[in-house]
Each structure stands twice: as structure tokens, then as C-alpha cells.
Structure 1
Amino acid sequence: MKLSPLSVPYRVIERGGSIIFTAAILFSGASAAFGPAGGLVGVALVGLALLALIAYEVTYYRRFEYDMDGDTLDIRSGVVSRRNREIPLQRIQNVDISRNVVQRAIGVAAVDFETAGGSRTEASLRFVEFEEAKRLQSAVGRLKRGVDTEDAEGSTASASTELFALSPRELTLVGALSFDARVPGLLFVLLSGSVPAVTSVLPGGVDGVLLAVGIVGLALVVILVSWAGGAVAAILNYYDFRLTQVEDELQYERGLLRRYDGSIPLDKVQTLTVADDPLKRYFGYASLRIETAGYAPGAGENGSEAAVPLATRDRVFALANRIEPFGAPTFERPPKRVRGRYAFRYLLGVGVLVALLYAVNHVTTQALPWYGPLTLALLAPVAAHLKWKHRGYWLGENHVVTRNGVLRRRIKVVPYYRIQTVIDTQTVFQRRWGVATVTADTAGSLSIVGHDAAAVDVDESTAERLRTTLDTRLRESLAARRGWIDADDEAGGTPGNPDDDPSGEEGTGADTDHVGGA
């Protein structure tokens, strides 16, 4: 099979920007070297470059071929040297389709094939017709399930069930509750050079007050710009978001200027994450993230991306339970004494900040209110209590569920059979308080950056019991899953998730809290 013929002119135009930039350099250089005839020389060189680009793209199109049989995706490509690739279909985790405004207008799309554990896209098709892209997306799922493509194409289309659609009101809320954290750093770089110039013209005696007012005003501007940038990006990104289920796959569509169509195989789901923040919790909203092995759908190089960007809390948990039936967790919090540890850490941070401001106040001529942050010390006990309150873990029949974070709270749901390693860690400071952390490491993409499900600051005895229980349930769930799959294969059925998981003894904590709590 071949790429779309329209891929040739599109790729030529796509790379035309570099030719225009090169043309400007050639014109200036040719004019200096050849005088009046330099313009003609520049035009000739640009023409040759354009012809070379067209010849390259035509050759690329003619030599690029792809095909799918029952086991592999075969890609043959190369202009100067030939490259033949065979990608086992069982390794393919996700098939993502993306189209910008121009691509949608001419009816082509880019297709990316993501594999387990890959740090980058395993294979790409640039570009095929959109109907062909959707056919490839569904064909990969069918062939992985062992369904013959020709038989499937001749049969009735698979039933599609819409699980979630983002309403205009919810899209507005997604924008209103978004914040682009990259903007403050960018503005700091752009404005850092202007601060000395501003402070140098401040009148004597009141420069400290004016500087404080200016800092507050600048902070408000940064917050406003960051919020506006995050709102616009979120609305463009999640416009017309839809999540549907087609047999044993989740398929999503989203985007205004650039449209994304992706697939999430249910049998490859590693972790579900329900995320929120204080503002979302106050209004009763949350988001849902779905991780597959080594890849978060739609994330590209930017990390995990929400499968459901925003919905009511009950709606999010209902959808999460539909994907992985884990029930209603009742969290066990860390022992109450760890609140003292958290309060001490916050007070230490306040002390360091006050000391830095005091030092700056004496080294420079600016009269900074170095004592201002001392008022934050009054909030340390409150912050410590909230941090303790929003931590916990729960062992269900088939899943382990953990909760961590206040400003960005994550409730992570992990099936026992998806656990790769159970890690019991204890820092020097945890040892002084008699607590430890137990982590359920998975093959999900967020595990790479330390966002695994973790029971943090539990009692040492509880940590040991929890680690042993998780290890036991991991082995039992894997054995039950293998037995269930073998029995199903003998019966000629389709493998799925087993529900048989003998219960072990759960760890106990100092306090419990239900997932529905604030």
C-alpha cells in the first residue's frame, strides 16, 4: 500500500519555509558576489533547490510502501538507502491519528504507531487519506485479537458506545480552570533585565514601597497571562472531545486547530489516575488519565495527557469503574504523628525564605520587607493537616488504590497483575519518625518520572505488611489470570480481565477515609 498522492505537494509546501529562508540568504550573498547578476543567480539556485526537494519527495513517495498481515506491520522506505521494518502487531499499544487545518481540508492525516516501552514513536505514516488512517487504526485492533481483516470488513461494523462527550459548559470550565505554568518562567526571562532599570529611577525613601507594589502588580500580570494562555490552549486542545468504546478499545477525538484521533487498548491499561486540585474539588470536578505500557495516549513528548479532561467527580469515578471495576475505596491514612513532620518541613522552608530576604535586605540598598513571610508560619499546621488528610492507600479485591497531593491530588488505581515491582523505601528523615513508603511500580509512562502509585509515610510495620501483601496478591492475580486465559483459549473465547483474586490480609493504618470525602 502507498501513501496518499497528496502527501507529495503537502510535504513540499511544508518544507517550503526553509527554502524561503535559504532564498533570502542566497539573494543577499549572490548580490554581494556577482553584482547586478546576483539576483538571477539567486533565483537559479532557489529553483534548483526547489526541484531537488520535489524530486526527493516524489522518490520518497514512490519508494515508501506499507502492509499489514496477520502478525506484523511491514514498512519499506528510503531514498538513498532502503530500510525494511517489521513491527509485531502485539507490540503496538496505540494508533494515533492527527490532522491540522490544512490536512483536514485536503483529506490527509498523519498516523503514529506507539509501542510498549518506546521512548519515541515506533513508526509514522506521513501522510495517508483519513479513511485509510481510520481503517489502519481499526485493523490493528482486529488483527491483534486474531480476527481476519477481510472477514471483519465483510461483516457488520463493530458497535460503538459513547462513554463521554465534553459539553460546551464543561469545555468552558476546562479553560477557566487551566493554567500554563510555562508562562511565568518565560516572562521572568523577558522582564528580568528591566527590573534594574525600573528600580534605578525610583525616588529615594519610597523605593522599597514602590518596589513591593511593583512586584505585586507584576505577579498579578503573570498570573493573568498564565491563566489566559492556559485557557486558550486547553480550549483548542479539548474542543469537541469524545471518548467511545469499540469492542475492547477506547477511541478518543479532540482538537480544534489540530484534530487528534487515538486508540487505547483496554487490555493494555496499566494505571488509572483521577486528578484534581482545590478549585476542582470545591466545585466537584476531576479529570481522568489512562496510561498504557510506556505511553500515555496523545501525550507525545509532553507526558501523560487526560483521557477525560474535566467532568463531575461522580461521572469520572463511574467511567473509571467501567474501565477497571475497583469499587469505592476506603483510604487508610498515615499515622497522625506525621503531621508534625510535615509542619516542621514547612516551618523550615519559611525560615530559609526569611533568612534569604534578610540577607538580600542587608547586602543591597533595597528595603525589602524580609519579615513578611513569617506570617506563613501560622499556616504551617493547616498545610500539614491537609497534606496528611489527602494521603492514603486501599487494598481492594483486585486493585491497589493510592492517594497523594493537595494542590495537585492524584488517586491512582492499579490492578494487582499490572504491578512490576513492589518497592519499600525509607529515607533518613522517615526513619527518625518510624515511617516508610511502599511503591507499586508499573510499566506506565508516569512511572519513569516517579509518579507511581505509592503509600507514603505509613508505619514501618504497616509498610512491611503492605509490601508482603502486594507481593502475594501480585503472584496470585498473575496465576489466576494465566489460568483464566488458558481455560478461555481452550474454549475458543477472547481473553479479558480475571476477577478471581484470593484476598490476603490488608494493612492497617491510623485512620481511614472514603474516596468520596473532601
Structure 2
Amino acid sequence: MVVGPVNQLRSLLLPIVAGLVVGGFNPWVLGATGAGVVALLVGGFVTWRTTRYEVAGDHLEIRKGLLSRSRRTIPLERIRGVDVTSTLLHRILGVAVVRIEAAAGAVGGSEDGKLDAVDTAEAERLRRVLLHRKAVLVGRTEAADAAPAGDGQSPAPGDDGPAADEGTVHFAIPRSWYLYGALSLGYLLTPFAVLSALFGAVQQTAGEWATDAFIDWVQASDRNGLLTAAVAAAVVIVFLMPVFAVVSYALTHWGFTLRERDGSLVAERGLFTRRSVTLEKRRIRGYELLDNPLERLRGAVRLRAIVTGLGDTAGRSVLLPIGPRDRVEEVVDHALGRYTGTLRRHPRAALGRRLLRSVGPPALALALAAAFAPAWVVAVALVLTVAAVPLGVDRYRSLGHGHDGERVSVRSGSLSRSQATVERSAVIGWTWRQTLFQRRPGLADLQVTVGAGAGGYTATDASFEESVGFAAGITPDMVRPFLAGPRP
């Protein structure tokens, strides 16, 4: 009765405040505001009274609505994940949001379900029940453990599934890890994102009045003083960027834990908004290690899972935040199994292509600037051209692919580098692509196709001949029928 109205009122808070400021204590404005608040409270009461859910047999059923009723049935065997999230408001009230992600039904629609403001203990129990019953239905758990709870009704706490178990804790974030937030470009840009959101909110609320007032203020101000203040503000923001980055990183990943429980990996994180994501290990096909130049200087990486049928991949596949590579690889070794092979370097011809792609655009801009632009533009273009040389070299050094007998690994990128490692059994195809400029030096882009994650991971500018042998050594039955020459 509280969560729904408060969430809706939060989105209307700025318009209400703006209306009261502009209209003053006008009886019509006050009456409209009061009526809106009452309507939200009545809506919250109706939602609470009409929402019901039941775990019965092989499905979960969710019913809600008074005038417009809905009844959603989710087969348990189609459930892909059950996540539990608690915002600050939810945690104050002792409730949580349960999100059930399921495969699309026969009509092609989404079967995802959401239960908002469920008691925290009930949310954890419901997740355990749903995942356990699904395991029974697909034959991965002994049926003896799946005794139904009383006439097909919603099971009482403790009556269905195994008892609550904390499982094996693979990782608990130490406080020193929060400092790694200063290495992430996304967290470093937090102040600008906050200022942009604040400006957008003011613009939408006050409209042209705020814009005109700001313009009038700028025109009335002393230009030199205004420029000095702007430069000083920019310097302060730049110096505070690492602080904001660390704070943002800490808020997002506060108390991060990764544990293995009931055949799943459970990642929990967050200070104000606490989120718990469950990934079944049988659907995890591999992992990605991601970093940028700043993170590489400190030997830090991020860890994401490569999972089949996962929605919101960027948010739900995070297994570890930014941290030291050796510790991340240790967790990978215990939780998933680490790639132990080496990566094959790509031909020297790939270096020329990486340099051409990185240096070419700024060099062209430099030539145009030298002909038509002022000196300062030429200087900027020259700096960018010189800086592009080590970027191209680093892109080439990052290229690589390999196979250790059980897993296939592909690495590429520089400003955002990714090393994807997938199980050999997850490879469902290979794709070779050759441009006109790749044919002469004998290069090709080899994509490892998997039914998980991004769907495929590419070894850029690999040797065409070597890549064919590489693929044939991993999935011989798949590749050899297409090779020229006598067949074995």
C-alpha cells in the first residue's frame, strides 16, 4: 500500500513543487495536488487487495487487478532466473521485489513476472522454491525432495525444497576494492551524468522560464568573472572525479558477495538498492574479462558471465566488479574453471591494419586542418595523430585466440578490451569474413559462434589458413566436411 504510491509520487514530485512555486497557495493547485495524492493511495490499496500469487504443481500464477484483471501463468520449467531487489524504501519497510525471468511462450510474448513489496524472508523463500521445483521438473534433482506442499496451494515456509543454505562463498569484497572505482571511465564520469540529469529535470519542470532566466543571468554577469568561475568549477569537478567515482563504485557494489548455492551462482551487491542475481551454472557457458588502459596499468579487470537466454546482460551477468586480476582469476578458477592455455599472436600484417585504422582518421583531419584551419586546430589534430600510434600498437598486442583442450578464448580491443572464454561444448558454429583488403595478406575475421552472451566472439585479423586449422582442431566434425582435399 506504500511502495507503489511512493514510487509514483517520486516521479511527480518536481511537477508538484513547480506548480506550488509558480501558482503559490492557489486553492485549485492545492486541491489538484491533494486529489492526486489521494488517488495514488487508493490505487496502492487496490493493488494490494487484488494481487495474489500461487505456486501450484508445475507453474506459478500471478493474478492482479480490479476493473482490468490480469492472470499470468509461468511454467516453472521455463524459468531462467529469479532476482531479488530491495531499494532503500523497500529495505526500510522490510520488503523486496521478486523478478521472475522466463523463456518466451508459444505466442512469442514475454512470460516475465514481477512481485513488488513481498516480505524479504518470503522473497528469498519464493526464489528457493521456484528454482528447486524447476530443477525437479527438468530432472536435475531427486524427485523425493520435491514433495508438494498441501493440495497444490502455495507452499508454507519450509515445506518445499531444501532448507535455506548459504552455500559456498567464493568472494566477499574487501574495502580496499572500492578504490578501483577511480579506474573506471564510467564511474569517473558520474559528476557529469548527475549534472546532466539535474539540468534535464529542471528543464522539463520549469521549461522556457528557467532557460530565459539563465540567459538573463549570464548576460547581466561580468564576463571575466563568469569565465573565471566556470574554469574554477571545471577544475574542481575534474579533481573531484576520482572521489565521485569511488563513492559511486562503493554504492553500487557495497557488500558484494558471490556464492554458489543450489547449483547456481548468486551475486549480491548494493548499499541503498540491494540486488541479488541468480545464475544457474548449467546455463553459464563461459566468462569475459574486461578492462581499459587505466585498469591494465593497475592490473585490474572485471568479470562477466556468458549465459544462455539472459535478459539485461550488462546488469545481470556481473560476477565480479573491478579488482586485481590475480584475485579475479582465482575466483574464476574455483567458481567456473579458468582458461589455462596461451593466446596465439596474430600475423604482422594485422599490425599495419590496426595502425591504419587508428592513425588514419586523425591523420586525415590533420591534413585538412593544415590546409583550412587555424593553428590551434592543427596542434590538436597533431597530438591526436601521434597518440593514435601507441593505440594502434596496443590494439595489435591485444589480439589473440587460443584453445586449452576444454575452453576457447578470444581477445581484442584496447580502450575497451575483452577476453571471452567459452566452453568447447558451447561452440555451435564458425564464421569467416574477409574484406578485399584482408585477402592479399591472407587475413580473416574468425567468429566463434555460441548460443550465449553476445552470440559470437571474433578473432580479428587472424591468419586465414591458421584459423581454419584452429577451428578444425576444436570441432573437427563440424569443419572438416568443408575442407578441400581428400577426407579421412
Q: Same fold (TM over 0.5)?
A: yes
Task: Output the amino acid matched with 1:113.
Answer: I
For 1:351, the equivalent position in structure 2 comes to 363
Match status 1:257 vs 2:272: yes
Matched, 1:111 2:118: no
Q: Residue 86 of structure 1 corresponds to which residue in structure 2? A: 73
Aligned equivalent of 2:181: 175
After superposition, where does 1:354-373 map in structure 2 within 5 Å? 354-358=366-370, 361-362=373-374, 367-368=375-376, 370-373=378-381
The one-letter code matched in structure 2 to 1:124 is K
Which range moved further: 123-132 or 94-103?
94-103
Q: Which residue of 2 aligns with 1:429?
A: 437
Superposed CA RMSD in Å reads: 4.0
2: CA distance, partners of 1:439 / 1:95: 32
The yes-or-no answer on 1:148 pairing with 2:155 is no
Alignment counterpart, residue 410 of structure 1, candidates 418, 442, 458:
418
Using a 3 Å threshold, how does the CA distance of structure 1 residues 255 and 303 change in structure 2: closer, same or farther? closer
Name 2:206's counterpart in structure 1.
none
Match of 1:124 in 2: 114
Q: 1:163 aligns with which of 163, 167, 170?
A: 170
1:481 corresponds in structure 2 to none
Tell me how far apart the structure 1 counterparts of residues 348 and 240 of structure 2 sit (CA, whole Å): 40
* Counterpart-to-counterpart distance in 1, 2:20 and 2:385: 65
What's the CA shift for 1:436? 0.8
Amino acid at match of 1:245: E
- Letter paired with 1:125: L
Q: How has the CA–CA distance of structure 1 residues 133 and 352 changed in structure 2, closer, same or farther, with 3 Å as cutoff? A: same
1:49 shift after superposition: 3.6
Whole-Å separation in 2 of the counterparts to 1:474 and 1:163: 36
Distance 1:247 1:409, change over 3 A: same
Whole-angstrom distance in 1 between the partners of 2:109 and 2:348: 41
Decide which moves more: 124-133 or 146-155.
146-155
Q: Structure 1 CA distance, aligned partners of 2:19 and 2:385?
A: 63
Distance 2:397 2:21 in 1: 67
Verify: 1:342 aligned to 2:354, yes or no: yes
The one of 273, 284, 293 aligned to 1:269: 284
Amino acid at match of 2:417: R
Deviation at 1:50, TM superposition (A): 3.6
> Structure 2 CA distance, aligned partners of 1:107 and 1:473?
55
CA contact (8 A) 1:178 1:227 kept: no
Q: Is the 8 A contact 1:179 1:226 kept in 2?
A: no
After TM superposition, the structure 1 = structure 2 runs for residues 292-371 of structure 1, keeping only pairs within 5 Å, are: 292-295=307-310, 306-358=318-370, 361-362=373-374, 367-368=375-376, 370-371=378-379
Give 1:360 deviation, angstroms: 5.9
User: What corresponds to 2:393 in structure 1?
Assistant: 385
SS in 2 for 1:80: coil
- Residue type matched to 1:465 in 2? G
Query: Could you tell me how far apart the structure 1 residues matched to 2:475 and 2:12 are?
Result: 59
Q: Is the 8 A contact 2:408 2:421 kept in 1?
A: yes
Match of 2:457 among 435, 453, 457: 453
Instruction: Report which stretch shifted further, 245-254 or 456-465.
Output: 456-465
What letter corresponds to residue 323 of structure 1 in structure 2?
A
Q: 1:25 to 1:258 in 2, by over 3 A?
A: closer
Aligned to 1:329, the other structure's residue is in SS state coil
Asked whether the equivalents of residues 390 and 403 of structure 1 are also in contact (C-alpha less than 8 Å), the reply is: yes
Q: Distance between the aligned counterparts of 1:214 and 1:445, measured in 2?
A: 47
Higher relative contact order (CA 8 A, sep 6+): 1
The unaligned stretches of length 5 or more in structure 2 are 137-144, 150-157, 200-213, 484-488
Q: Are residue 284 (structure 1) and residue 284 (structure 2) matched?
A: no
Deviation track 1:22-54 (CA, whole Å, cap 9, x = no partner) reads 7668879999xxxx9x61x55554444444333
User: Does the Cα contact within 8 Å between 1:422 and 1:441 map onto a contact in 2?
Assistant: yes
The equivalent of 2:205 in structure 1 is none
Structure 1 pair 64/378, CA: closer, same or farther in 2 (3 Å)?
Answer: closer
Measured in 1, the distance between the counterparts of 2:80 and 2:327 equals 26
The DSSP-based 3-state class of the residue aligned with 1:333 is coil
Deviates more, 1:461-470 or 1:240-249: 461-470
Specify whether residues 214 and 455 from structure 1 end up closer, same or farther in structure 2 by C-alpha distance, changes over 3 A only.
Answer: farther
Q: Which residue of 1 aligns with 2:2?
A: 9
Query: Which residue of structure 2 aligns with residue 5 of structure 1?
Result: none
Distance in structure 1 (CA, Å) of the matches to 2:246 and 2:7: 28
Change in Cα spacing, 1:324 to 1:453, as seen in structure 2 (3 Å) is: farther
Partner of 1:429, secondary structure, is: helix
**Does the 8 Å CA contact 2:190/2:248 hold for their aligned counterparts?**
no
Q: CA deviation at 1:330?
A: 1.0
Q: 1:438 aligns with which of 440, 446, 450?
A: 446
9-18 vs 266-275, which moves further? 9-18
The SS at the match of 1:11 is helix
Q: How many residues align?
A: 438
* Distance in 1 separating the partners of 2:83 and 2:29: 42
Alignment identity in percent?
24
1:72-123 Cα distance to aligned partner (Å, 9 max, x none): 2211122332222122223222211111222111101111122358998921
Asked whether the 8 Å contact 1:350–1:377 carries over to 2, the reply is yes
Q: Secondary structure at the match of 1:256?
A: coil
How much does 1:356 deviate?
Answer: 4.6
Q: How far off its partner does 1:68 sit?
A: 1.8
Q: How far, CA to CA, are the matches of 2:233 and 2:355 in structure 1?
A: 30
Amino acid at match of 1:374: L
Structure 1 residues 465-474 or 330-339, which shifts more?
465-474
3-state DSSP class of the match of 1:144? Answer: helix
The Cα shift of 1:219 comes to 8.3
Letter in 1 for 2:58: D
Mapped to 1, the partners of 2:438 and 2:185 lie a distance apart of: 33
Within 5 Å, give how 1:33-52 maps onto structure 2: 39=27, 41-52=28-39
| 1:178 partner amino acid | S
Query: Which amino acid in the other structure matches residue 401 of structure 2?
Result: Y
Query: Residues 64, 314 of structure 1: CA spacing in aligned structure 2 closer, same or farther, 3 A cutoff?
Result: same
Residue among 35, 41, 45 paired with 1:58 = 45
**What whole-Å deviation, never above 9, does each CA across 1:408-446 have from its counterpart, x for those lacking one?**
321111113323442222233323432111112334344
**For residue 9 of structure 1, what is the amino acid of its counterpart?**
V
CA distance in 1, matches of 2:266, 2:418: 23
Q: What is the CA–CA distance in structure 2 between the aligned matches of 1:446 and 1:230, rounded to whole Å?
A: 28
> In structure 2, the residue corresponding to 1:81 is in which secondary structure?
coil
